[in-house]
Amino acid sequence: MQTQIAIAGAGLAAALTALRLLSRPDCPSVILADPAPLTGRTWSFHEHDISASDREWLAPAVAYQWAGQDVRFPGNIRSLRAGYATITPTSMAGALRHPQLTMMQARVQSLSPDHMLLDDGTRIDTRCVIDARGIVAHPAMDIAFQKFLGQEVELDAPHGLTRPIIMDATVDQVDGYRFVYVLPFGPNRLLIEDTRYSDTATLSAEGVRAAIGEYANSQGWTITRILAEEQGALPLMLGFDPKAFWADAHLPRIGMRAAQFHPVTGYSLPDAVRTSAVVEAHWHKGSDALAHAIRQDALSRTTRFYRLLNRMLFRAADPAQRRHVMNRFYRLPEPLIERFYAGRTTPADMARILIGKPPVPIRRALRALPERISDV
């Protein structure tokens, strides 16, 4: 078989990259190979995470969008103006229907700069190969976790929400910083996710399902049916050695495979959109040139400040204090919050976030300042 671009994996990063390429009038032929393409999760983003021009080609993949969002902390209930949007596997699959795209339900065995080999022995010759097979542990990363379980549920009556609750942190604090995330998918339909910022990746699914039921009851909602469930433990970066990470990246990598996610949220959609522009600009030069361009782009971004904040949250703050840190953040001006999630925090924002009486013990804050990667 032959194609111009062969992508191993058909998760978020692969799908976004394909979508951008397919939106071009001169789009190349693309093959995505994955044993379980586009499965098991919804992907959301804040309006300001993505530029207006990128939102145009992304639009066909968006299933839901809202004009604002809310956060709830003890003593701080706040409505924010920033829009929010969600892509589902179904909406993404619909947007990717295109004669130039072939989706193969197959596991990739190996990759080389000029071909991709599938488990069944099929060889796909290509000008450009891309590795989008999701996250792998790497010694250059020191991570904690945002772990969660979410249920899409149907209620017996309308819930009345018109916008997402991005964080309802008025709930009991267990296993680190805990909050509930609620997306209104329809008048009687919600995605309710119970999330914890924790030192460990393990989560008792039964316990969290019960907690979601209790939360729904506390809001006066009666769940009549569970339509879907998703679970994750997203990496939150406390320390990172980019040079060590990229030293052995000889083939182009995108998405979580390229450690491209927001260190404080574990969300990768905005970074994947940005990297898709690098693919668009360089794929035609071949795999080696694209690998070089992606590495250069990655090394030009600095996420050092976000990693410092994570160390303050996980190393300096007691688990019980983490909510206090987040509550303080959510009292800051909206443009600063928007830039934070978009990964565009300015030096003035950094000063603003750090200024004032630190909500963590000063001695422990000082100890958390240096960035050490335990295993490198």
Ligand X SMILES: Cc1cc2nc3c(=O)[nH]c(=O)nc-3n(C[C@H](O)[C@H](O)[C@H](O)COP(=O)(O)OP(=O)(O)OC[C@H]3O[C@@H](n4cnc5c(N)ncnc54)[C@H](O)[C@@H]3O)c2cc1C
- Residues contributing to the site for ligand X (CB under 6 A): 8-14, 33-36, 41-45, 107-108, 132-134, 230, 232, 234, 255-257, 266-269
Residue number with the smallest Cβ distance to ligand X: 11
Q: At closest approach, how far in Å is the CB of 157 from ligand X?
A: 27
Q: At closest approach, how far in Å is the CB of 21 from ligand X?
A: 15
Q: Which is nearer to ligand X, 256 or 360 (CB)?
A: 256
Q: Which is nearer to ligand X, 229 or 371 (CB)?
A: 229
* Strands lying side by side in the sheet with 43-46: 43-46, 84-87, 62-66
Q: Which is nearer to ligand X, 5 or 360 (CB)?
A: 5
For the stretch 196-205, what's the b/e string if a residue is b when 16 or more beta carbons lie within 10 angstroms of its beta carbon?
bbbeeeebee
Q: At closest approach, how far in Å is the CB of 25 from ligand X?
A: 26
Residue 198's closest CA among 100, 310, 305? 310
Q: At closest approach, how far in Å is the CB of 316 from ligand X?
A: 25
**Strand 2-8 to 84-87 pairing:** unpaired
DSSP H helices, the chain, are 12-22, 52-58, 89-95, 205-218, 242-247, 269-282, 287-300, 304-311, 322-329, 334-341, 347-354, 362-368
Q: Which is nearer to ligand X, 27 or 269 (CB)?
A: 269
Q: Which is nearer to ligand X, 250 or 352 (CB)?
A: 250
How far apart, in whole angstroms, are the C-alpha atoms of residue 198 and residue 233? 9
Q: At closest approach, how far in Å is the CB of 283 from ligand X?
A: 17
Q: Which is nearer to ligand X, 133 or 322 (CB)?
A: 133
Question: Are the CB atoms for 331 and 71 separated by under 8 Å?
Answer: no
- Judged on CB neighbours under 10 Å (0-12, 13-18, 19+), 330 is middle
Q: At closest approach, how far in Å is the CB of 46 from ligand X?
A: 10
Q: Which is nearer to ligand X, 41 or 328 (CB)?
A: 41
CB neighbour list of residue 45: distance below 8 Å, 6 or more residues apart: 84, 85, 267, 269, 270
Q: At closest approach, how far in Å is the CB of 87 from ligand X?
A: 8
